[in-house]
Amino acid sequence: MTQTLVYKILGEHLTSGQLVAGNEIGLRIDQTLTQDATGTTAFLLLEAMDVPRVKTELSVSYIDHNMAQFGPENHNDHLYLQSIAARVGAYLSRPGNGICHQVHLERFGRPGRTLLGSDSHTPTGGGIGMIAIGAGGLDVAVAMGGGPFYTTCPRVIGVELLGKLGRWVAAKDVILRLLSILTTRGNVGCMVEYFGPGVGSLSVPARSTCTNMGAELGVTASVFPSDAVTKAFLTAQGRGDQYVHLSADEGAEYGPIVKRLHAVRDSVALDNIKDFCTDVDIAPASDPDAADDGFLDVSFGHVVIDLREVVPLAAGSPSPDNVAAVGELSGQKVHQVLIGSCTNSSYQDLMLCAAVLKGRSVHPDVELGIAPGSRQVLRMLASNGALADMVASGARILESSCGPCIGQGFSPAEGTVSLRTINRNFAGRSGTKGDMVYLVSPETAVAAALSGEIIDPRDLSEFMDIKHPRIKSPGEFSIDDGMIIAPLDESQAQEVEIVRGSTIVKPPAGEKLPDPLNGRVVIKVGDKITTDHIMPAGSLLKFRSNVPEYSRYVFNCFNEEGSESFADRATAVRDSGAKGVILAGDSYGQGSSREHAALCPMYLGIGVVIAKAIERIHHANLVNFAILPLTFVDGADYDRISEGDELVVHDVAGAIESGETVKVSNVNQGFEFVCRVSLAPRQREILTAGGLLNFTRSGR
Ligand code: MIC
Ligand code: SF4
């Protein structure tokens, strides 16, 4: 039987289950990655599980997110992470060494391996032919302890690439095109596999730009074949011996992929599916109520993108799938440009920008920030003079870290447009309320930095007489792992003292849910609530290792001055002996992997989330922290429930054990409704045990 590349790699790592889409499967994890904002909790949980030494082939702890260091919290975390890595046998990438995904690609990623990371953009590693998956820190801790990772065997969305990109058009435009076709919704339980003759024209960093933003599609992972380009990249990184050739079998079949879309609200995506997919079939939704509401069931074979036809694209706030051609936006005044992040901060990306900036000045109305993705990139730019060209142009060189991508500095002024090469433009993520962020390629970003407005970079030649610079992949990268601390041997490791500042607080474990569960709706939120809404980052990121403190800011963006905060209301419900309930619309928990979006609500006594749909990583995090994730059988019930309503969830134990649905009474309004219980068998056991920590401690 012919196999996709996804299934080949999964098959080699299968510990349980069968490779049938929709089934729960267990996977052996070869490598793990953590970063400091999620890593402190992951390592604290690893300690709580009594794991003395990591059991993976390789585990790397990166320090790249919390680098602002206002107050002692961040540095306390750094010292803790360095000492715990030494104790348990993980690599430690020191602050200044770069963004986890960029460094991992450069120094550790290996074709054919599995990587689990406590960061939603871990799938960046798919650019080098790995199955790289983002997950909550607790899942990563279990994998560090040698446990398998459980996930849904995916449906594979094939993306066939033809031809070659034109000048000034980039991989970022390819993934934005894909986002305009597949959108950020309805891709849960899928993985993307790129194939076709166009693949060979993309460098590994370009491929990784595409796989990085697979996170925005909501897919579990994205993967490229491992070919001559991969081999050249690994060789240039001094790791040629780690190359293996990997591709799908000739004639491997993709799809059919079925999505439910709304005839009017999703009309752009519908048109794009018709234009870019094979074997499209559109019919009224199979569920008559949904059909009456205007929903359609859309099925297609695979996506085909002809790289020759891709044009520069931009995604405007507040969603990465809000895509338009740069040409249609041109003329808009720009006041800020940011080039960096795990999406676009490779050597090639920044060399292109440096070449365009060389001998020119940043527009006087624009602040340009450039954050090289890694120390390797920065050193290479410094030694070949490109850094000097950037500085001379007026660019502000920012640290090799996440920084502005997550609202840590460089927030834009009110009412101004900011062009960023990053991957997320959720409202307020930049640190400015009402921000207007466009996600763009380095080409489009640098064009705006010089012209002071949005301009199609293909017009640079005509308007500014700038020729397209051809940037070659280097035959040899500058290799210096001096900022990576390798694990100690076991006997030395035991001598290491773990450094715990006062701001590092043991995270709470979950507890079994009561049956029946008396609950109260603490908040009712709408569609597309991201984990940034639930647990803000920016200046509050520093509280990650202190759950009681961080919990004060749950749903902070909805707190109003002078009124009780979410935390106050949830605490009052908890103290009354009931459980808090969160009520949400579609795509609840989009975005990051941050498990604090479950952990902190759990600390505040939340026991249930009822939503129209819940995104994959967040759904898993809820289960891990003993919060029951439910979805409405009939979405219309959402409208009938209000904040403050008293709900009773009946037969919780039965629902968790084996139920497909559960009955919920709305006591205030006197009606009953039914919710779906979508849990894999192991998730049922985890909830029964009162969360993953208790489950793991009980030896399972
Ligand atoms: C993000 O881009 O939102 C983050 C910060 O990298 C998160 C992880 C976190 O919240 O610490 C992610 O993407 O998972
Ligand atoms: Fe860091 Fe931004 Fe990438 Fe998250 S998306 S890992 S904050 S650079």
Domain end (from 308, 343, 370): 308
The answer to whether residue 72 scores a pLDDT higher than 80 is yes
Lowest mean pLDDT among 289-298, 418-427, 522-531: 289-298
- 471 C-alpha to center of ligand 1: Å? 30
- 402 C-alpha to center of ligand 2: Å? 5
What is the pLDDT averaged over residues 341-357? 98
How far is 238 from 81, CA to CA, in rounded Å?
28
What is the number of the ligand closest to the CA of 341? Answer: 2
Q: Which atom of ligand 2 is nearest to the CA of 537?
A: 7
State whether 91 and 222 are in the same domain: yes
Backbone phi, then psi, for 179, in 5-degree steps? Answer: -65, -35
What is the pLDDT averaged over residues 285-306? 94
What is the pLDDT averaged over residues 295-306? 97
Residue 374 Cβ contacting ligand 2 at under 6 Å:
no
What is the pLDDT averaged over residues 118-126? 98
pLDDT at residue 464, as a whole number = 87
Residue 592 Cβ contacting ligand 1 at under 6 Å:
yes
How far is 467 from 388, CA to CA, in rounded Å?
20
The CATH number of the domain holding residue 365 is 3.30.499.10
Domain end (from 290, 308, 326): 308
Residue 402 Cβ contacting ligand 2 at under 6 Å:
yes
Give just the sign of the alpha carbon dihedral 371, 374, 380, 383.
Answer: positive
Mean of all residue pLDDT scores within the chain: 96
Identify the DSSP state of 409.
Answer: S
Instruction: Enumerate residues 6+ apart whose C-beta is below 8 A from 328.
Output: none
What is the pLDDT averaged over residues 494-499? 96
- 341 C-alpha to center of ligand 2: Å? 6
Q: Is 342 exposed, middle or buried (0-12, 13-18, 19+ CB in 10 A)?
A: buried
- Which residues form the domain of 331? 313-464
In a domain, 397, yes or no: yes
How far is 539 from 456, CA to CA, in rounded Å?
34
State whether 226 and 79 are in the same domain: yes
Closest alpha carbon to 613 in 589, 584, 637, 586: 586
In a domain, 221, yes or no: yes
Tokens of 380: 């290479």
Residue 121 Cβ contacting ligand 1 at under 6 Å:
yes
Lowest mean pLDDT among 92-96, 98-102, 538-542: 538-542
Q: What is the DSSP string of 281-329?
A: EEEE-SSHHHHHTTEEEEEES-EEEEGGG---EEEETT-TT-EEEHHHH
Residue-wise pLDDT for 591-631, tens only, equals 999 999 999 999 999 999 999 999 989 999 999 999 999 99
Q: What residue owns the CA closest to ligand 1's atom 7? A: 592
Q: Is 39 exposed, middle or buried (0-12, 13-18, 19+ CB in 10 A)?
A: buried
**Ligand 1 pocket mutation pick from 65, 408, 421 by most atoms within 8 angstroms of CB:** 65
Strand order in the sheet with 131-134: 131-134, 114-117, 31-35, 58-62, 91-93, 484-485
What is the pLDDT averaged over residues 405-413? 95
The CATH number of the domain holding residue 544 is 3.20.19.10
How far is 83 from 73, CA to CA, in rounded Å?
16
Alpha helices in 183-221 (DSSP H): 204-212, 214-217
In a domain, 492, yes or no: no
Instruction: Enumerate residues 6+ apart whose C-beta is below 8 A from 526.
Output: 584, 585
State whether 403 and 546 are in the same domain: no
Residue 121 Cβ contacting ligand 2 at under 6 Å:
yes
Tell me if 625 sits within 8 A of 602, measured CB to CB.
Answer: yes
State whether 460 and 524 are in the same domain: no
- 365 C-alpha to center of ligand 1: Å? 31
Closest alpha carbon to 645 in 494, 477, 520: 520
Residue 406 Cβ contacting ligand 2 at under 6 Å:
yes
pLDDT at residue 461, as a whole number = 87
pLDDT at residue 1, as a whole number = 85
Tokens of 460: 């640079």
The answer to whether residue 539 scores a pLDDT higher than 90 is no
What is the number of the ligand closest to the CA of 124? Answer: 2
State whether 643 and 537 are in the same domain: yes
Instruction: Enumerate residues 6+ apart whose C-beta is below 8 A from 683.
Output: 150, 620, 623
What is the number of the ligand closest to the CA of 101? Answer: 2
Residue-wise burial string across 658-682, b where 16 or more C-beta atoms lie within 10 A, e elsewhere: ebeebebbbeeeeeebebebebbeb
Other residues' Cβ atoms within 10 Å of the Cβ of residue 225: 20
Tell me if 611 sits within 8 A of 584, measured CB to CB.
Answer: yes
289 — pLDDT class (breaks 50, 70, 90): confident
In a domain, 24, yes or no: yes
pLDDT at residue 462, as a whole number = 87
pLDDT > 90 fraction of the chain, expressed in percent and rounded:
95
State whether 173 and 72 are in the same domain: yes
Instruction: Enumerate residues 6+ apart whose C-beta is below 8 A from 571.
Output: 604, 605
In a domain, 274, yes or no: no
pLDDT at residue 280, as a whole number = 98
The answer to whether residue 364 scores a pLDDT higher than 70 is yes
State whether 172 and 321 are in the same domain: no
**Ligand 1 pocket mutation pick from 40, 67, 120 by most atoms within 8 angstroms of CB:** 120
- 328 C-alpha to center of ligand 1: Å? 31
In a domain, 460, yes or no: yes
Domain end (from 264, 284, 308): 308
State whether 639 and 562 are in the same domain: yes
Backbone phi, then psi, for 416, in 5-degree steps? Answer: -115, 160
Tell me if 693 sits within 8 A of 49, measured CB to CB.
Answer: yes
The answer to whether residue 499 scores a pLDDT higher than 70 is yes
What is the pLDDT averaged over residues 1-5? 94
The answer to whether residue 202 scores a pLDDT higher than 70 is yes
The verdict on whether omega for the bond into residue 516 sits within 30 degrees of 0, i.e. cis, is yes
3-state secondary structure of 605: coil
The answer to whether residue 699 scores a pLDDT higher than 80 is no
pLDDT at residue 577, as a whole number = 96
Domains of the chain: total:
3
Tell me if 21 sits within 8 A of 257, measured CB to CB.
Answer: no
State whether 550 and 612 are in the same domain: yes
Residue 119 Cβ contacting ligand 2 at under 6 Å:
yes
What is the number of the ligand closest to the CA of 423? Answer: 2
β-bridge pairing 131-134 and 114-117: parallel
91 — pLDDT class (breaks 50, 70, 90): very high
700 — pLDDT class (breaks 50, 70, 90): low
Residue 342 Cβ contacting ligand 2 at under 6 Å:
yes
**Ligand 2 pocket mutation pick from 67, 99, 100, 211 by most atoms within 8 angstroms of CB:** 99
State whether 36 and 121 are in the same domain: yes
What is the number of the ligand closest to the CA of 209? Answer: 2
What is the pLDDT averaged over residues 372-393? 98
**Ligand 1 pocket mutation pick from 116, 406, 534, 535 by most atoms within 8 angstroms of CB:** 406
In a domain, 22, yes or no: yes
State whether 48 and 195 are in the same domain: yes
In a domain, 481, yes or no: no
What is the number of the ligand closest to the CA of 215? Answer: 1
Is the full-model pTM beyond 0.85?
yes
**Ligand 2 pocket mutation pick from 402, 429, 593 by most atoms within 8 angstroms of CB:** 402
Tell me if 44 sits within 8 A of 507, measured CB to CB.
Answer: yes
State whether 91 and 187 are in the same domain: yes
Residue 99 Cβ contacting ligand 2 at under 6 Å:
yes
pLDDT > 70 fraction of the chain, expressed in percent and rounded:
100
Q: Residue with structure tokens 């391996």?
A: 113
Residue 209 Cβ contacting ligand 2 at under 6 Å:
no
- 342 C-alpha to center of ligand 2: Å? 6
β-bridge pairing 221-223 and 313-316: unpaired
